[in-house]
Amino acid sequence: MLLRITQVDAFTNRPFAGNPAAVCILPKAADSAWMLNVAREMNLAETAFLVRQKDGYDLRWFTPAVEVDLCGHATLASAHVLWEDGHLKPDSQARFHTKSGLLTADRRAPWIELDFPTTPPVAAPPPAGLVEALGAKPRFVGRSCFDYLVEVDDEATVRGLTPDLNALSQVQARGVIVTTRSDGKSDYDFVSRFFAPQSGVPEDPVTGSAHCALTPYWSAKLGKTELVAYQASARGGELRLRLAGDRVRIGGQAVTVLRAELTAGNMAS
d(CA 91, CA 26): 23
Q: How far is CA 109 from the centre of its chain?
A: 20
Q: Are 159 and 167 in contact (CB under 8 A)?
A: no
DSSP H stretches of helix in 19-161:
32-42, 73-84, 130-134, 155-160
Helix (H/G/I), strand (E/B), else coil: 166 = helix
Distance separating alpha carbons of residues 133 and 246, to the nearest angstrom: 32
Q: Is 97 exposed, middle or buried (0-12, 13-18, 19+ CB in 10 A)?
A: middle
Q: Which of 105, 80, 84 is nearest to 93 (CA)?
A: 105
Contact criterion met (CB below 8 Å) for 195 and 207:
no
The number of angstroms, rounded, from the C-alpha of 264 to the middle of its chain's C-alpha atoms is 27
Measured CA to CA, the distance from residue 20 to residue 234 in angstroms comes to 13
> Does 238 participate in catalysis according to the annotation?
no
- Helix, strand, or coil (residue 151): strand
Element (H, E) at 260: strand 254-262
Q: Which of 41, 46, 84, 203 is catalytic?
A: 46
- Give phi and psi for 122, each to the nearest 5: -115, 135
Residues that are catalytic: 46
